[in-house]
Amino acid sequence: MGRLKVAIIGAGSIAEMGHLPYYQKHPQVELVAIVDKNLNRAQYLQEKYSIPKIYSSFEEMVNDIKVDAVSICTPNADHFPIAWEALNRGIHNLVEKPLTTTYKEALKLQKIAMEKKCVAMVGMTHRFRNDVKALKKYVETGELGDIYYAKAKILRRRGTPRGWFTDRGRSGGGALMDIGVHALDLAWWLAGRPLPLSVTGHLVKGIGPYSTNFTHVWKSAIDENNNLGKFDVEDFATAFIRFEKGLVIHLEVSWAINGPQDEGLKVELYGTKGGVTLDPLAFYYEKDNIFNERKLVVEKNNPFEEEINHFVDSILKGTVPNSSIEEGAEVVKMFEAIVKSSELKKEVML
Amino acid sequence: MKKTKIAIIGNGSISHVHMAAYRKLSNVEVVANCDINEERAKEFSQKYNIPRYYTDYNEMLEKEELDGVSICTWNNVHAPATIAALNAGVNVLCEKPLALNAKEAEEMVQTAKKNDKLLMVGFVRRFGLNTKVLKDRIDQGDLGQIYYVKTGCIRRVGNPGGWFSDKKRSGGGPLIDLGVHMIDLARYLMGKPKAISVMGSTYDLVGARSNIKGIQIYKSADYSDYNDVEDFAVGFIKFDNGATLVVETSWAQHIKKDYLYLELYGSKAGASMEPELEIFTEKNDYLVDEKPIIDPHFFDFQAMFDREIQHFVDCIENDTPCISPGEDGLELMKIIDAIYKSAETGQEVLIK
C-alpha cells in the first residue's frame, strides 16, 4: 500500500504548530495539499513545508486530487461543514477541538463517520501527554477506588486570544469552547468517561477586551479581527456536572481573570482508595496506616507528535482512535448544557 | 502497685533526656541518681525530686534496691558501671557506644548472661518513626535485596570538646560518637548482617577548630579544648549477606555546609532517610518517588527517647524481647575496632 495522502484544511497557527511538522516526519504519510480561503497563507505554508498543491476550498481540492485523510484546523464554526463533506467522501478526519459548535452537528458527524466506516478523531492532545498516561494507569488499575470528585481547572489571567476566537459567529463560544474543552475532556476521560446526568453552568464576559501591557497573547493567523474586534463571548466559565455513580466534576476556565495564573491544566481526581493530581504529578493513598505521597517522575514528550502518529496508525490499522468522534460529541453535549444552564440560571438535566 | 525502680548513673546532658522519658511513665519511680561531680548530682536530684543522690555508683548499687539503671556516663565508664550493675542484679540500659572497644563490650555481654539480666544498648535511632516505617517496608520486601548503603555525618566545625575529644575517656572521636549510630542504623535496617571485612582511614589534620568565632557550636557540659582524637573517619565495610556499607564522619572538615545522609539501595527500590524518608522505585512502569507522610510533630528527638525508655521498662516488667540488645552493641564495637585498626595498619581487617 502506498503512503497515506493527507491534506490540511485551514492554514492557521494550530496547523503549523500541531499538525504539519508531524505529518511531514511520518514515513507513511504524504502531505499532498493545503486548503485555505486565504491563498497567501496557504502559500506561505506550502513553501515552508514543500507541499505540492494549495487550494482555496475543500471542494476544489477533492475535485482535483485524491486524498485519504485530512486535518481540520479551521475556525470552530467551519469544522462541521468541512468534516461532513470529507466523511461523506470516505475521507478520514482529524478534527481540531471542539468537534463542532452544536450537539446536533456532532451527532450528524458521528452518523456519517459510522456509515462510511471512517476513522474520525478529535484533537484532544492532552490525552497523549506522558504524565497524563501515567495517571490514567492508576484509574485503570482501580487504585483510586470509586472516584467521587474531580476538578479541572485552567485560569489564564490575561490570555484572551486575538482574532475569530471572540466572535461567536465563528467560534461558537469563548473560553469554554476554546480551553474548557481540553480541561473537561481530560478530567472526564481520566475518570473513565462516565455518563453525565445534569449540569449547572455560569459563563461570564468578566474582563472583555483589554489593552494590558507586557502580556503574551495567542493571535489568530488570520490578520483581520486581530485588533480588539468583535467580542461577544464569555472569558470565564465554570460548571458543576453530575455523573452516574456519584461523580461530580467541577470545571473552571478563564482566558482572563483578576487573579493568579495557572501555567497549565490542573486536573485532580479523588476516590475512596486514592487520589491523583496532574500538577504536581502525584498519587495519594494510605497503606499500613501510613499516608503516602507518590511523585511520578515523567519527562515531557511531544503530545502533538503522538497524536498525529496515533491518527495515522488508526487509519493504517483500521482501529478506533483514542478521542473518537463519539467522545467528542459527548463533550459537545455537555457544553451545550452548560451554556443553557448559564442562560436559564438553573440546573439542566441531560 | 509495685513501681519499677530506676536510677541514672551519669548526670550530664543526655541524662536529662532519659529523665524526661522516665517521668512520663506512671509505673516507674526514679529513686536515685549518681555523678562523680557532687554539685551536679545534687542539682540533678533537686531538679527532678529524686529521693537520693550519690557520687559513687558502687555505693548506690549496694544501698538501693533497683530494677534498672540508665548509664549516661563518659564512654570509659560504660563497662565498669554496667558490669557492676549487672552483678548487683540490676537491668541496664547503656548509652552508645556500648564500651571503648570490643573486649570491654564482650565482658559486658557475658556478665549480663551470667546474671540473667537485661543489657540494652542505647541505639535510640532504632526507635525513630521513619526508621519503623522504613523497616516495615524493608521487611515486606519493598526494597528487595539491599546491597549498598552509604551514610555520613559531616560537620564543618563540630568538635564538642570536654571528654568527647579525650581519647582515654571517649575511646575516639566522631567515629565512635556519631559513626556508631549510623553504622548501627544501616545494619539494623538491613536485618543485622555480620560484618566480615573492614577497611578504614582516620585523620587528625584539621584539629578541633576551637578558635573559630561567629558561629554556634555544641559544647560538652564540662568543656575543655584538649583534643587527641580523629577529626575525620571513613570506613568501607563488607557484610556476610554480600552488602557493602560506606560510612564517613567528621567533627571538623573544610566543607561548605554540614550534612547528614543515609541511603540504602536495593534490587527493587532505594531509600533516603535524611532529611525525610523517601523511597525511590517504579510502579506501573513509571519512575516514582514515594514519601510516607509523618507529621513533623512526631519527629521529636525526645519522643524517640521516650519510646526507647518505654521499651526498656517494658522489657524489665514483661520480659518482652529487646529491640536493641547488648549483642548488637558488641557487634558495633567489633566494627569500630576494625576501622581504627585498619586506619592504623593501612590493611584490610577481617572480623571473626
- Give the domain range for residue B309: 4-124+304-325
Looking at residues B131-148, what average pLDDT do you find? 97
The residue among A98, A349, A323, A95 whose CA lies nearest residue A193 is: A323
Mutation target to probe the A interface, by most A beta carbons within 10 A, among B290, B293, B295 is: B290
Q: Is B136's CB within 8 Å of A288's CB? A: yes
Residues 6+ positions from B76 with CB-CB distance below 8 Å: B100, B168, B169, B170, B171
Same domain, A107 and A159: no
Nearest CA in chain B to A143: B284
Same domain, A158 and A83: no
Which residues of chain A does B288 touch, with a Cβ-Cβ cutoff of 8 Å?
A: 283, 294-297
Mutation target to probe the A interface, by most A beta carbons within 10 A, among B284, B293, B295 is: B284
Spatial distance between the Cα atoms of B208 and B230, rounded to a whole number of angstroms: 9
Give how many domains chain A has, as a whole number.
2
Q: Does residue A331 lie in a domain region?
A: no
Residues 6+ positions from B341 with CB-CB distance below 8 Å: B200, B349
Q: Does residue A110 lie in a domain region?
A: yes
Residues 6+ positions from A23 with CB-CB distance below 8 Å: A6, A8, A29, A31, A71, A308, A312
Give how many domains chain B has, as a whole number.
2
Spatial distance between the Cα atoms of A118 and A111, rounded to a whole number of angstroms: 11
Confidence check on the interface: ipTM exceeds 0.85, yes or no: no
Mutation target to probe the B interface, by most B beta carbons within 10 A, among A137, A296, A301 is: A296
Q: Which of A137, A288, A295 is opposite residue B289, by nearest beta carbon? A: A295
Looking at residues B255-270, what average pLDDT do you find? 96
Q: How far is A327 from chain B (nearest CA, A)?
A: 26
Spatial distance between the Cα atoms of B264 and B243, rounded to a whole number of angstroms: 10
Q: Does residue A345 lie in a domain region?
A: no
DSSP at A320 = P
- Give the domain range for residue A217: 130-300
Residues 6+ positions from A106 with CB-CB distance below 8 Å: A99, A100, A325, A328, A329, A332, A333
Looking at residues B149-157, what average pLDDT do you find? 96
Contact A57, A37 (CB under 8 A): yes
- Three-state secondary structure string covering chain B: CCCEEEEEECCCHHHHHHHHHHHCCCCEEEEEEECCCHHHHHHHHHHHCCCEEECCHHHHHHHCCCCEEEECCCHHHHHHHHHHHHHCCCEEEEECCCCCCHHHHHHHHHHHHHHCCCEEEECHHHHCHHHHHHHHHHHCCCCCCEEEEEEEEECCECCCCHHHHCHHHHCCCHHHHHHHHHHHHHHHHHCCCCEEEEEEEEECCCCCCCCCCCCCCCCCCCCCCCCCCCCEEEEEEEECCCCEEEEEEECECCCCCCEEEEEEEECCCEEECCCCCEEEEEECCEEEEEEEECCHHHHCHHHHHHHHHHHHHHHHHHCCCCCCEHHHHHHHHHHHHHHHHHHHHCCCEECC
Mean pLDDT score of chain A = 95
Same domain, A278 and A293: yes
Cis peptide before B325 (omega within 30 of 0): no
Contact B158, B209 (CB under 8 A): no
Q: Does residue A231 lie in a domain region?
A: yes
The model's pLDDT over A214-273, given as tens digits with 9 standing for 90+, comes to: 887 777 776 655 555 789 999 999 999 999 999 999 999 999 999 999 999 999 999 999
Q: Is A294's CB within 8 Å of B292's CB? A: no
Which residues of chain B does A137 touch, with a Cβ-Cβ cutoff of 8 Å?
A: 284, 286
Same domain, A148 and A172: yes
Question: What pLDDT sits at residue B275?
Answer: 87
Same domain, B318 and B264: no
* pTM (predicted TM-score): 0.87
Question: What pLDDT sits at residue B297?
Answer: 72
Same domain, A269 and A255: yes
Which residues of chain B does A299 touch, with a Cβ-Cβ cutoff of 8 Å?
A: none
Which residues of chain B does A291 touch, with a Cβ-Cβ cutoff of 8 Å?
A: 292-293
pLDDT class of A163 with cuts at 50, 70, 90: confident
| Statement: residue A45 has pLDDT above 90 | yes
Q: Is B133's CB within 8 Å of A296's CB? A: no
Instruction: Count the neighbouring beta carbons within 10 Å of the beta carbon of residue A133.
Output: 16
Contact B246, B200 (CB under 8 A): no
Same domain, B255 and B186: yes
Same domain, A109 and A68: yes
Question: What pLDDT sits at residue A194?
Answer: 97
Same domain, B337 and B207: yes
Q: Is A290's CB within 8 Å of B288's CB? A: no
Same domain, B238 and B133: yes
Question: What pLDDT sits at residue A1?
Answer: 62
Same domain, B203 and B140: yes
Q: Scan residues 27-56 of A and list those with Cβ closer than 8 Å to B.
A: none
Same domain, A158 and A291: yes
Same domain, A92 and A144: no
- The CATH number covering residue B130 comes to 3.30.360.10
The model's pLDDT over B166-210, given as tens digits with 9 standing for 90+, comes to: 999 999 999 999 999 999 999 999 999 999 999 999 999 999 999
Question: What pLDDT sits at residue B231?
Answer: 95
Same domain, A286 and A199: yes
Q: Is A297's CB within 8 Å of B289's CB? A: yes
Residues 6+ positions from A265 with CB-CB distance below 8 Å: A126, A152, A153, A154, A182, A183, A186, A278, A279
Which residues of chain B does A138 touch, with a Cβ-Cβ cutoff of 8 Å?
A: 284
Q: Is A292's CB within 8 Å of B289's CB? A: no
Question: What pLDDT sits at residue A226?
Answer: 57
Same domain, B64 and B155: no
Helix (H, G, I), strand (E, B) or coil at A24: helix
Contact B132, B191 (CB under 8 A): no
Same domain, B259 and B318: no
The model's pLDDT over B140-152, given as tens digits with 9 standing for 90+, comes to: 999 999 999 999 9
Same domain, B309 and B253: no
| Statement: residue B162 has pLDDT above 80 | yes
Q: Does residue A98 lie in a domain region?
A: yes
Q: Is B289's CB within 8 Å of A294's CB? A: yes
Spatial distance between the Cα atoms of A35 and A253, rounded to a whole number of angstroms: 32
Question: What pLDDT sits at residue A213?
Answer: 87
Spatial distance between the Cα atoms of A8 and A10, rounded to a whole number of angstroms: 6
Would you state the cell numbers that stand for residue B314, as one nine-digit string?
517494658
Q: A204 CB near a chain B CB, below 8 Å?
A: no
The model's pLDDT over B5-32, given as tens digits with 9 standing for 90+, comes to: 999 999 999 999 999 999 999 999 999 9
Question: What pLDDT sits at residue A279?
Answer: 94
Same domain, B130 and B216: yes
Q: Is B293's CB within 8 Å of A293's CB? A: yes
Same domain, B170 and B284: yes
Which residues of chain A does B135 touch, with a Cβ-Cβ cutoff of 8 Å?
A: none
- The CATH number covering residue A219 comes to 3.30.360.10
**Greatest CA span in chain A, whole angstroms?**
69
The model's pLDDT over A135-147, given as tens digits with 9 standing for 90+, comes to: 999 999 999 999 9
Same domain, A49 and A178: no
Q: Which of B284, B292, B293 is opposite residue A137, by nearest beta carbon? A: B284
Q: How far is B325 from chain A (nearest CA, A)?
A: 27
Q: Which of B286, B287, B292 is opposite residue A292, by nearest beta carbon? A: B292
Nearest CA in chain A to B129: A290
Same domain, B20 and B132: no
Q: Does residue A227 lie in a domain region?
A: yes
- The CATH number covering residue B93 comes to 3.40.50.720
Same domain, B172 and B249: yes
Question: What pLDDT sits at residue B89?
Answer: 97
Looking at residues A156-162, what average pLDDT do you find? 93
Same domain, A190 and A89: no
Q: Does residue A161 lie in a domain region?
A: yes
Spatial distance between the Cα atoms of A124 and A127, rounded to a whole number of angstroms: 6
Spatial distance between the Cα atoms of A231 and A163, rounded to a whole number of angstroms: 9
Interface of B with A (CB under 8 A): 133, 136, 283-284, 286-294
Q: Does residue A336 lie in a domain region?
A: no
Q: What percent of chain A has pLDDT over 90?
A: 92
